[in-house]
Amino acid sequence: MLPKKSLNISVNNTLLSIFLIINTFVWLFGLSKILNEAVNISNFSSYVTAVVWSINFCGAVVSILTGAFLGSKIHQRLRFLLFWILFGTISSFVPLCIDITTTGGILAISLLFSVSLGLGLPVCMAYFAECTIVENRAKLGGVTFLFMMVLGAFMTTLITENIIVSSFALSCWRGIGLIPFLFVNVHEERVKRKVEVSLGSIFKERSFALYFIPWIMFSLVNYLSMPIISDVYGEDFVYLSAIIENVLAGVFAIVGGFLSDIIGRKRVTIAGFVMLGLGYAILGIYPLNLFCWYFYTMVDGIAWGMFYVIFFFTLWGDLAYGKPSEKYYALGSLPFLLSNFLRLTVGSFIAKTVSAYAIFSLASFFLFLAVVPLMFAPETLPEKKIRERELKKYIEKAKKVKEKYG
């Protein structure tokens, strides 16, 4: 039994880590929206737009990997997170100081936003992993994601073509992340770094590879659907589909989180891939059928709710097995960044040049193929915890039968 003081410190650290994640990802939604608005109102050529998103992607990748390397070395993590949030608060004001409708201005903002996000993201996620225990990590991730979606929807409504209002709202929100540090002594916390891991050694880990390969396969095909929806049914249907998917993702993040902590991460992940594979298979047969698109939208939202919890919050912290998890989270975020980059750059080109039948049939094939490595992947939720919960459930059922017939 933990002393009361230690328990309070643990709970406070967990709440702080959840608060920082919510603040960071809602801020990310705002950054993405303001960058999109700037690109749209400036009417840049397709070449300049591609360069903007390329710089944003490369800046994010380099800064995330750099942040993971720095994070694995530092001993005062809270101080690092404090300066990171302060840097983001200041960065959010920069669009007020430069003309982001020019090519130079939009390129500078694209790079600044990606760097201000990526430098501290691996440390923030690793802090969450270390403040949670493995049997509760997924459900806490699900609850955190639901709050992110609700507050993110509110934040995106504040981001408009008015750069002054948008930048002020974005900076104020990021500044809220500084409030908890008024009540925390950032100088007292010292992280003990007992084991050092390299990116190469992580890739050599069998358990990491067996989860990472399906994740990157999914990311490579996932970006294809949105441009096709836009071409066939228009922007209004894309907007409606996005709302439906976000609502379902928020709800099933909770469901997926609880299931992941009960039956394990592996089963939930396989279920998500099978659902998506089925959705893409139906689209491969009837890509122009509206009912099939609604069915795909539903399974995509459900699967994404599960995937957000597993691939963003839970899995990489599990696979670290007590080692510093910054680099695990950094590598785990790269396929998602790649998927978004492909969607914004080559997605519309592929949608116009390749048959929808071929695209969705190929996507379905790769998703079902991605299940194969998962069949050999180890379960990251300790087997003992699964058996304990199954035994507890059996005992409860036995008690009910005894009360009924005894």
Residue among 190, 196, 204, 219 nearest 332 (CA): 219
- pLDDT score, position 8: 42
Judgement on whether residues 119 and 205 belong to the same structural domain of the protein: no
Integer Cα distance of 194 and 321 in angstroms:
13
- pLDDT score, position 89: 94
Do the domain assignments include residue 404? Answer: yes
Do the domain assignments include residue 220? Answer: yes
The 10 Å Cβ neighbour count of residue 18 is 21
Please say which residue of 193, 211, 236 terminates a domain: 193
Q: Which domain holds residue 274?
A: 198-406
Judgement on whether residues 182 and 239 belong to the same structural domain of the protein: no
Do the domain assignments include residue 352? Answer: yes
Do the domain assignments include residue 205? Answer: yes
Integer Cα distance of 120 and 24 in angstroms:
10
101-138, pLDDT tens digit by residue?
888 889 999 999 999 999 999 999 999 998 898 889 99
Judgement on whether residues 111 and 223 belong to the same structural domain of the protein: no
Please say which residue of 177, 193, 209 terminates a domain: 193
- pLDDT score, position 142: 93
Judgement on whether residues 25 and 169 belong to the same structural domain of the protein: yes
- pLDDT score, position 2: 38
Judgement on whether residues 117 and 239 belong to the same structural domain of the protein: no
Integer Cα distance of 405 and 87 in angstroms:
66
- pLDDT score, position 193: 62
Q: By the 8 A CB rule, do 186 and 82 touch? A: yes
Judgement on whether residues 95 and 117 belong to the same structural domain of the protein: yes
Do the domain assignments include residue 181? Answer: yes
Outline where 159-264 has alpha helix (H).
Answer: 163-176, 199-204, 206-222, 225-233, 235-260
Judgement on whether residues 165 and 241 belong to the same structural domain of the protein: no
Integer Cα distance of 227 and 349 in angstroms:
9
pTM: predicted TM-score of the whole model, two decimal places = 0.89
Q: Residue 135: what are its φ and ψ, rounded to 5°? A: -80, -5
CA separation (Å) from 25 to 148, 374, 377? 7, 28, 29
Integer Cα distance of 42 and 219 in angstroms:
29
- pLDDT score, position 399: 62
Integer Cα distance of 205 and 240 in angstroms:
41
Judgement on whether residues 240 and 98 belong to the same structural domain of the protein: no
Do the domain assignments include residue 150? Answer: no
Judgement on whether residues 183 and 263 belong to the same structural domain of the protein: no
Q: Which residues of the chain have pLDDT under 50?
A: 1-9
| Structural domains of the chain, count | 2
Residue among 250, 337, 288, 380 nearest 53 (CA): 337
Do the domain assignments include residue 280? Answer: yes
- pLDDT score, position 120: 93
Residue 255 sits in a domain whose CATH number is 1.20.1250.20
41-89, pLDDT tens digit by residue?
878 888 888 899 999 999 999 999 999 998 888 878 888 999 999 999 9
Judgement on whether residues 261 and 166 belong to the same structural domain of the protein: no
Do the domain assignments include residue 239? Answer: yes
Judgement on whether residues 187 and 247 belong to the same structural domain of the protein: no
Judgement on whether residues 317 and 384 belong to the same structural domain of the protein: yes
